Amino acid sequence: MLKILKYSFYDLIRSRWSYVYLLFYLILGFVLLFLNNDLSKAVITLMNVIIILVPLIGTIFGVMYYYNSKEFTELLLAQPIKRSSIFIGQYLGVALSLVMSLVIGLGLPFVLYGLFESSAIWDFSLLLITGAMLTMIFTALAFNIALYNENKIKGFSYAILLWLFLAVIYDGLFLLSLIIFETYPLDKFTLIATVFNPIDLSRILILLKLDISALLGYTGAIFNQFFGTSIGLFSALGMLLLWIILPVWNIKRKAQKKDF
């Protein structure tokens, strides 16, 4: 598995798109810092960017990589290598190279602008952790979609649809249901509904850092316990981890059974 991981990783590192992705984050980081020079404000702006953009790029990259390296995968399948190590290796190769672009691309400008002397370092590390987790989650989901769909076009459209659904439509439906059922006690429903969307989960991690004063304005015991203590932070991180583990486990399961 490590060998395949290494191969995919180096393959991707040498590809043009990784550089474009890296460059994008470098430019974004430098421009943001150049424009306002205030680390904590730049972190806030980046948080908004990351929860939307990282999932999109993770999904597209994942699907693209799977379809592009399909022939190579079939060649590998003919060799005496475990199926799970082929697919998990490829997945980790893609995910880790994306994570690396993200961490270097955003880390470099911030370090150069004096991150280590700044109080924003915790917010920034939370930002990077959230970004890394979102990359892992959405690459895994993309691999799942690709495994289930032989047709490239269909696979791509499903991937885009998945992103659109989780990034925008889900919140719309969520908001609508909260308003329609506003006469009912919705505390638990609200918290549970966020768990089913990794983008919402990451958003809440960020809210806990930025808007805690507004969040505490709501009178609900469950809410206050969730937001007011470290329970919120840890349960959200735990759920994100679960969001990585489950799709990866499904990649493994599906790959074992799939007829190539």
Identify residue 17 by its one-letter amino acid code.
W
Three-class DSSP category at 186: coil
Q: Does residue 217 bind other proteins (CB under 8 A)? A: yes
Question: Which residues touch 255 (CB under 8 Å, ≥6 apart)?
Answer: 83, 84, 86, 87, 147
Report d(CA 53, CA 116) in Å as an integer.
Answer: 26
Quick one: which of 98, 102, 205, 206 contacts other proteins (CB under 8 A)?
206
* Contact with other proteins (CB under 8 A) among 52, 108, 115, 237: 52
DSSP state of 165: I
What are the C-alpha distances in Å from 39 to residues 19, 45, 100? 25, 10, 21
CB closer to other proteins out of 13 and 178:
178
- Contacting residues for 178 by C-beta, under 8 A, at least 6 apart: 186, 190
CA count, 13 A, side-chain hemisphere, 118: 19
In the list 1, 121, 160, 215, the residue contacting other proteins (rule: CB under 8 A) is: 215
The stretch among 20-28, 45-53, 135-143, 241-249 that binds other proteins (CB under 8 A) is 45-53
Q: Is 213 in the site for other proteins (CB under 8 A)?
A: yes
**For other proteins, which is the closer residue by CB, 77 or 191?**
191
Query: Number of residues in contact with other proteins, rule: CB under 8 A?
Result: 37
The C-alpha angle 104, 96, 240, rounded to 5 degrees, equals 100
- Closest approach of Cβ 135 to other proteins, in Å? 18
Asked if 167 touches other proteins (CB under 8 A), the answer is: yes
Residue with tokens 């991180």: 237
Smallest distance, Å, CB 201 to other proteins?
A: 11
Q: Which stretch binds other proteins (CB under 8 A): 66-74, 109-117, 118-126, 183-191?
A: 183-191
Distance CA 53, CA 56 (A): 5
Instruction: For the CB of residue 235, give the shortest distance to other proteins in the complex, in Å.
Output: 14
Residues of the shown chain interacting with other proteins in the complex, contacts defined by CB under 8 A:
41, 44, 47-48, 52, 167-169, 171-172, 174-175, 178-179, 182, 186-187, 190-191, 194, 200, 203-204, 206-207, 210-220, 224
